[in-house]
Amino acid sequence: MTDITGKTAFITGAASGIGLALAKRFTAAGANVMMADINADALAAAQKTVIGTTATVVCDVADPTSVKSAADATLAAFGAVHIIVNNAGVSTAGKPGNVPLSDWRWVMDINLMGVVHGVETFLPILRDQGTGGYFINTASMAGHLAAEGMGPYNASKFAVVGYSETLAQELAREKIGVSILCPAWVKTGIADAYKNRPSGFDADDTAQHMAVEAVANGINADVVADWTYDCMMARRLYIFTHPHFHTFLDQRKALLDADATAAAADPRFAKPTG
């Protein structure tokens, strides 16, 4: 992809944070943007801050029917769609054995199934248009590195990474690109999303409060949006935003290598010689 002038991007979670920053970046590059979010009032306010051609649609990414309606609204507004940014997400914290299953389903329905619904809804449209396209799926550095107290969030983001890696392989032959956005701490409202979790708001949730503080000290969403745009243009699979986290990726690789080497050295797994 070399130019998005006149093309249409569909962005979920567009009322704030990275989604809103991407809407501004894409319109600045000449694209039309359909801003989708579950919060109608926040969405209307956010649209007023974007300079360029936009439309809005209320969309619950956990509901495939809602995503289908949002896709229909996008086509009705702009006639086509070319870039799909599956960005909406939530977070919650909790210790293993103490996380209500309702919270697990909430996180997975939005963070993972929201991406799945976006792909399954928009991919047939891209295929019918026959002009290629692009998916940007928001995961997290938590999709590569596990952190204590964030089991549901880590699991959902690891799943998005694995799913998106598969998509990248399968869609390359159709000239449909895939990037996986993997930020660490960014100044957005995601750390406050736990207040809406099904099990209710827990004012004494220490792990969640630590996440809120980390996010408050994160990088600006507009920096992430600029870099995401550049990486899409370069067709990068992974969009990393915090270079110092490379050390932790190296540590993870060392653990994988050590245990894989142990299996390779065990005679029970030796290749037959005859």
CB 84, CB 10: distance < 8 Å = yes
**Phi, psi for residue 161 in degrees, rounded to 5:** -65, -50
Catalytically active residues, by annotation:
153
Express each pLDDT in 170-199 by its tens digit: 999 999 999 999 998 887 776 677 678 888
Q: Please indicate, yes or no, if residue 18 is contained in any of the structural domains.
A: yes
Q: Please indicate, yes or no, if residue 252 is contained in any of the structural domains.
A: no
Would the pLDDT of 204 be above 60? Answer: no
Of 113, 126, 209, residue with least CA distance to 163: 113
Q: Please indicate, yes or no, if residue 265 is contained in any of the structural domains.
A: no
Name the one residue in this structure whose structure tokens are 């976006």. 118
Q: Please indicate, yes or no, if residue 31 is contained in any of the structural domains.
A: yes
Structure tokens at 44: 């209307």
Express each pLDDT in 2-45 by its tens digit: 789 999 999 999 999 999 999 999 999 999 999 999 999 999 99
Helix (H) or strand (E) holding 240: strand 238-240
Q: Please indicate, yes or no, if residue 145 is contained in any of the structural domains.
A: yes
Range of the domain at 63: 8-244
How many of the other CB atoms lie within 10 Å of CB of 83?
Answer: 23
For the chain, what is the domain count? 1
Question: What average pLDDT does the segment 233-238 reach?
Answer: 98
Q: What pLDDT does 51 receive?
A: 97
Express each pLDDT in 146-168 by its tens digit: 988 889 999 999 999 999 999 99
Of 73, 27, 13, residue with least CA distance to 229: 27
Q: Please indicate, yes or no, if residue 274 is contained in any of the structural domains.
A: no
Express each pLDDT in 84-143 by its tens digit: 999 999 988 888 998 999 999 999 999 999 999 999 999 999 999 999 999 999 999 999
Question: The CATH number of the domain where 60 resides is what?
Answer: 3.40.50.720
